[in-house]
Chains A and B, each alone.
Chain A
Amino acid sequence: MRFYFITFRSVTYAQQGERLLKGSGFRCALQRTPRWMEEQGCGYALKIRAAEIEPATALLAQRQIPIRRVYLQSKDGQLEEVPT
């Protein structure tokens, strides 16, 4: 299964995003951002299934919860940034 990681500039935004998405029926998990994803050092990300990334980011945008970047984890485990 493929996953996306949505990164945020603050833990509070990440938590707002988590509550919003879970409250809307999405399955996601809040976790620390892998170090290489966060050039400013230390952050939090939401891990979400590939099938749900588009409606999830649309909902976050609709509710004005700012996201930082989105990364796709491919089948071989590699992560790459994708445009939002």
Chain B
Amino acid sequence: MIYLDYGATSFHKPPAVYRAAEKAMRTCANPGRGGYGAAMEAARTVFDCRTAAAELFSCRPDQVVLTTSCTHGLNIAIRSLVRPGGRVVISGFEHNAVTRPLHALGADIRVAGRRLFDWDDTLEKFEKALKGADAAVFTHVSNVFGYILPVGEMAALCRQRGVPFILDAAQSAGTLPVDFSALGADFVAMPGHKGLLGLPGTGILLCGQKGEPLLYGGTGTQSIQQEMPEELPERLEAGTLNVPGYAALTQGLKYLKRVGTDAIFRQEQQSLQHCIRGLIQQGFRVFAGAHQAATVSFLTGQDCEEAAERLASRGIAVRAGLHCAPLAHESAGTLETGTVRVSLGFDTTSGQIDAFLRASAKLPPVR
């Protein structure tokens, strides 16, 4: 199989990631729940993950809350900042992980900036919409189109206006710089199993404030007190943590630190441009532009799901449909059709793109 669905998960991991998960399963008990060796080893393992994340994202280890997914982190963050009826500004490229929690809260949602790959439009509309806003939530990279939003400038606008904000780094963490200190974000959420090369069932929420718990329960400390602790990260981490998952994530983070996210980004960009050129030559409608991460959507002359099925029959793994982001498709005018999405990863090679293009050449061009 040629795997080109890194936007869904990094199916391949560095070897140390697999080893760390197994080692933790054999050596770690419950972290923060005992003083014997295996419990302390678990606590050390979890703390190593916080430390590695803090180094990569420029924050303190106690600001690293370990979650089960990016969606989990976004739900904590949104529930912490948004009240029912509160006005929230979002970009036109948000995932359901952002829009559904806001919808469930009854937030007054203002969508700002809907033109793909257009930073001027994004910033102009975003700045206007911030007036009177209670909070902002925006993605770093569109999971459908790979559009890299100007998040540094958007963060600066939020800071200037005193609007608290959440960054969804689901598609950027691991390939683009995410500097928590420089952004001044209230929260940054990310999955462990995509660009950070860890396992499913893990995620990270970087916290600039203490936040409101989404789950209530045991934390291993201050057990008499019936309120959740005030201190991070325990305040937002009720229940037993996925120690093997975080042991693996630590190795993913260390791999990124060693190889460098810049190097991964450059390598992915070379393959991306090769892929885009090939798809355009084959007569497809390709969504490409400036400020694009290693994800590209395209349309053929065939239903997107059928096209992806035909590619799968030739050993190519891509994703089709709405990608859990109907808002992004609405912005791009593809809500009716969906798209076929190719998303590249840290180990994608030009040879794999060649093989993909040989398979996609069999698909009918747009009419």
Interfacial residues, chain A to chain B (CB-CB below 8 A)? 9-13, 15-16, 19, 30-32, 39-44
Residues of B within 8 A of A11 (CB): 31-32, 43, 220-221, 234
Chain A residue numbers with a CB within 8 Å of B231 are: 9-10, 12-13
How many whole Å from B236's CB to the nearest CB in chain A?
12
Which of B19-27, B222-230, B275-283, B310-318 lies on the face that meets chain A?
B222-230
Q: How many chain B residues touch the partner (CB < 8 A)?
A: 25
Top 9 A-B pairs, shortest CB-CB distance: A32-B35, A41-B223, A41-B224, A40-B222, A11-B32, A15-B47, A10-B231, A42-B223, A12-B62
B40 CB within 8 Å of chain A: yes
Alpha-carbon separation in the docked complex, A40 to B220 (Å): 11
Closest chain-B Cβ to A19's Cβ sits at a distance in Å of 7
Expressed in whole angstroms, the Cα–Cα distance for A60 and B221 within the complex equals 20
Q: Which residue of A lies closest to B34 (CB)?
A: A32
User: Do A12 and B222 touch across chains, with their CB atoms under 8 A apart?
Assistant: no
Question: Bound complex: CA of A24 vs CA of B34, how far in Å?
Answer: 26
Across the interface, A42 reaches (CB within 8 A) one of B50, B221, B230, namely: B221
Distance in angstroms between the alpha carbons of A78 and B61 in the assembled complex:
34
Within 8 Å of chain A (Cβ to Cβ): is B175? no
In the bound complex, residues from chain A placing their C-beta under 8 Å from that of B222 are 9, 40-43
Given contacts A30-B40, A31-B35, contact A16 B62 (CB under 8 A): yes
Q: Which chain B residues in 212-246 approach chain A with CB under 8 Å?
A: 220-225, 229-234
**Within 8 Å CB of B220, what residues of A?**
11, 42
Q: Which residues of the other chain, A, contact B300 by a CB distance below 8 angstroms?
A: none
Known contacts A15-B47, A32-B35; 15 further A-B pairs (Cβ under 8 A): A9-B221, A9-B229, A10-B62, A10-B229, A11-B31, A12-B50, A15-B43, A15-B61, A16-B60, A39-B224, A40-B224, A42-B222, A42-B223, A43-B222, A44-B221
